[in-house]
Each structure stands twice: as C-alpha cells, then as structure tokens.
Amino acid sequence: MKICIVIANYYPKISQDLLKGATKILIQSNIKNFNKITTQGVFEIPVIVAKNMKKYDAFIALACVIKGKTPHFRFISSAAIDALMKLSIINKKPIGNGIITCLNKKQASIRSSANRKNKGEEAAKAVLSVLGILKNDSK
C-alpha cells in the first residue's frame, strides 16, 4: 500500500499541523509506505495527483484557503476540490480531502489544531476507510 500526501505550503504553520494529523493516523494504522510532495498552492494539488496517479494507491490532499476580499477564494477552492473528486472517480482511487476553506486564520488554526478535530486526521481516516484499512466507526 503506497499513499501520497500532497500538501500546499502557502500557509506553512497550518499545513504542517494538517500534515502532523494525517501522518499520525497513517502511523497509528501501521502504514509505513507513504511519501509527501509539497507544492506552493492548493490550485496545483490536482496536477500533482494526476502526474503521480499510477505510482500510488491513494492520496491525501492537504491545504488551506483563507477568504480574502475578492471571490478568488471560492473559485480556487471549488476548482481544486472538484478536480480531485473527478480524479478519484475516474481512477477509482481514494483522495482524502484535507483542504480546509476558512474565513480567517483563527478559524484555520482551529481546524488544523491537534487539540481539536484536525482536518488532516479526518482526510487520512477517510482514505484508510475507503481502502478497507480503517473501520468507519473508528475514532
């Protein structure tokens, strides 16, 4: 089983917290064969996944998009998430969605915090569940 974590590093602290959450779940589930690919922003994640589709059994996409003063936030988020869903369906491989969309940095910090529901953990659990490695009711 080979899993690839694709992580956008636009907000480094938030990205690292999401990564810690995802890797924690993989390690707890005894998954040792995973790699990380870093990209600058969320918009590039689907391209990285598409380029590496044949090399991995599953992917975990991690990123943060914070709303600014323009509609750019909505377009980027929708495009990236829609592209990942299409890639997952077409290739019949799970892609965990750990792309958080937030209204501000405080909200992003909460959603990536180890003390709360970390979206990186949730994305890793979703992938492992689809692969049959983690039961749906596992916490």
Residue 73 neighbours by CB under 8 Å, 6+ apart: 65, 66, 67, 101
Closest CA to 42 of 11, 8, 78, 91: 8
Distance CA 26, CA 47 (A): 23
Q: In which element (H, E) is residue 129 found?
A: helix 119-130
Q: Which of 2, 13, 51, 72 is catalytic?
A: 72
Q: Is 75 a catalytic residue?
A: no
20: its two tokens: 């810690």
Q: In which element (H, E) is residue 20 found?
A: helix 12-28
Question: Which residues are tagged catalytic?
Answer: 72
